[in-house]
Structures are given as structure tokens and as C-alpha cells.
Amino acid sequence: MVIGYTTGVFDLFHIGHLNMLKNAKSLCDKLIVGVTTDELVAYKNKQAVIPFEERIEIVRNIKYVDAAIAQESMEKFEMWKKLKFDVMFVGDDWYGTEKWQELEKQFSEVGVRVVYFPYTKGTSSTLINTTLDKLRNNQ
């Protein structure tokens, strides 16, 4: 059985999120999804629009997701120690970064493959938030 793992905030859930989960599930037997807690989002100097409990419930009920868990730390390798997943899915905006080159090296030493998925062009939570802000400020 191939266990896959991915993480995200999953705020303002959109087609890019769904595409990521659908594509990830197609490459593994069991997909575990880490949903970033509100505290961890705040650590990144951001704030989710949708509260954590609602975001994890949405993700938990996506048919491609076998389990949704709280992501309370940015340490992906620490999560591997707990879950022992076989493949890690991540957006291609991280490809080639120093952080992910190091993670790829760590993961390869324990037999974990890292798969990068392209972001869905034209759709992002940031873009949705920016559009909503513009609409609110014009009224």
C-alpha cells in the first residue's frame, strides 16, 4: 500500500485545491492531508478566513482524502516520522528551493518520493482574497 501525504491551509477552498487532492490520490492508495492550524497560519504572519475546524471538516469530506489531520508544524520530516508515508505531494512553486532540496535529500534517504504538482493558473486563495478586498472597498 502506497501512503501519500500533502499539506495546506485550504482556506477559501477552490479548484486548485481539488485538483491537487485529486491528482495526489491518483498516485497513492491512501491520502493523508495535513490542514494547517490557525496558529501555524498566524506564525506565517497571515490569517485564514475560514476557521481551522471548518477547513479540516471540508478537507475530511473530499472523496479523494482518506484522512485529514492537523498540521501544527512546518517540519515535514517530523510528520514522516509519525506517519511513515511513501510519497509527499507539494506545489511546484517550492521546486528547486533550498528548503525542498534539503527535504528531498532527507526523504530520499528513507525511500520517500517527492512529487511536485503545478499550481492551477488563475486561481489561488490569495487572488480570491485580493478580489474580495477590492469588492468590499468599492462599496
User: What order of strands is seen across the sheet that includes strand 3-8?
Assistant: 67-71, 30-36, 3-8, 87-91, 113-117
In whole angstroms, what is the distance from residue 120 CA to residue 104 CA? 23
Q: Where are the domains of the chain?
A: 3-137
105 a catalytic residue: no
In whole angstroms, what is the distance from residue 111 CA to residue 96 CA? 19
The grid coordinates listed for 82 are 509519525
Q: Which one of 22, 25, 46, 82 is the catalytic residue?
A: 46
Task: Give the pLDDT band (50/70/90) at residue 133.
Answer: low
Flag whether pLDDT at 2 surpasses 60: yes
Flag whether pLDDT at 44 surpasses 80: no
In whole angstroms, what is the distance from residue 105 CA to residue 71 CA? 22
pLDDT per residue over 45-94, tens digit each? 788 889 999 999 999 999 999 999 999 999 999 999 999 999 999 988 88
Measured over the CA atoms of residue 47, residue 48, residue 50 and residue 56, the dihedral's sign is negative
The CATH number given to 3-137 is 3.40.50.620
Q: Which one of 25, 30, 44, 134 is the catalytic residue?
A: 44
pLDDT confidence of residue 46: 80
Please say whether the beta carbons of 64 and 24 come within 8 A.
Answer: yes
46 a catalytic residue: yes
